[in-house]
Amino acid sequence: MSVSAVFAAFVDQLADLLDPLFAGSATAAAIVLFTVLVRVALHPLTRAAFRGERARAALAPRLAELKRRHPGPRNADRLQKAVLELHTQAGTSPLAGCLPMLVQLPVFFVMYRVFSAGSLGGETNALLAEGLLGAPLGGHWTDALAEGGVFGAQGLVFLGLFAAIAAVAAWTVLRARRAMAAGDGPAGLAAAAGGESDPGAALMGRMLKVMPLMAFGTLITAAVVPLAAGLYLLTTTAWTAGERAWLQHRWDRMERKADKGRIGAK
């Protein structure tokens, strides 16, 4: 049995469990639940990546010192080697923050494959007949436009999806820019450490600059993939935004407690 067939069977089982609550939209709810289960499974990895970012933040002064000691393009190789050695000594990885996102790519591709295939394992793909508020989960925005226009029944489902993705993206960009202005998080780290001296921090800093374009890219992707894949994109981006905010809040609270403990000890 192929990976796509296994995924389809699992989603079908989830839909059967959710049918009493969501009726005709049970499969759509199953996709959301499946995405949440994937993100819960990846949470330890995400938490470790977040701790890695904070560990890199603690290295910022030492990274800045390395750049001061190895100035100019002629010392770029020495600087790179020194930075990697520093990360090795500290037990951090400059690119660990990208790992949770990369792990999700196969899941998205399987989702796309399942809701684009007319048959799975030699049998008709029954999931294509399922829908969300009347819009087929295997349908595309262009199909909805042809069916009833932008404000038709199916078109409104896609508009709601696009609006939700845009809202999540706007909130994420706003929080990231506030963190950069405050010198906190990976973007603030890139500036504090001299930008290019830390490959991971510099990469995250550049990602922040293009984040609005990435958000636009997410909307474009949702507009061209099946509705089911768009639901996955919405759910996983919303989870990422909420998870990131929770981890940051939890970390800030731990730091405040640690600061109070140090003050009390004095």
Residue 226 φ/ψ, nearest 5 degrees: -60, 155
Query: Residue 197: what residue type?
Result: S
Taking the CB of residue 124, how many other CB atoms lie within 10 A of it? 10
**Cross-strand partners of 131:** 136
Q: Is the pLDDT reported for residue 235 higher than 90? A: yes
Instruction: Give the lowest-confidence range in 210-214, 220-224, 242-246.
Output: 210-214
Taking the CB of residue 156, how many other CB atoms lie within 10 A of it? 17
Average pLDDT, the chain: 78
Q: What is the share, in percent, of the chain residues with pLDDT greater than 90?
A: 23
Instruction: Give the lowest-confidence range in 50-54, 77-81, 93-97.
Output: 93-97
pLDDT tens-digit series, residues 6-15: 888 899 899 9
Q: How far is CA 266 from CA 150, 261, 263, in A?
A: 65, 9, 5
Sort 105 into a burial class: Cβ within 10 Å, 0-12 / 13-18 / 19+.
exposed
The predicted structure's pLDDT at residue 194:
46
Chain Cα centroid distance, residue 163: 18
pLDDT tens-digit series, residues 89-98: 666 665 666 6
The predicted structure's pLDDT at residue 24:
86
For range 236-244, the mean pLDDT: 90
For range 179-199, the mean pLDDT: 52
Query: Residue 203: what residue type?
Result: L
Sort 236 into a burial class: Cβ within 10 Å, 0-12 / 13-18 / 19+.
buried
Q: Where are the domains of the chain?
A: 3-265
The predicted structure's pLDDT at residue 2:
80
Collapsing DSSP to helix, strand or coil, 50 comes out as: helix
Q: Is the pLDDT reported for residue 71 higher than 50? A: yes
Q: What is the largest CA-CA distance in the chain?
A: 72
For range 225-237, the mean pLDDT: 93
For range 48-72, the mean pLDDT: 69
The predicted structure's pLDDT at residue 239:
93
**Cross-strand partners of 135:** 132
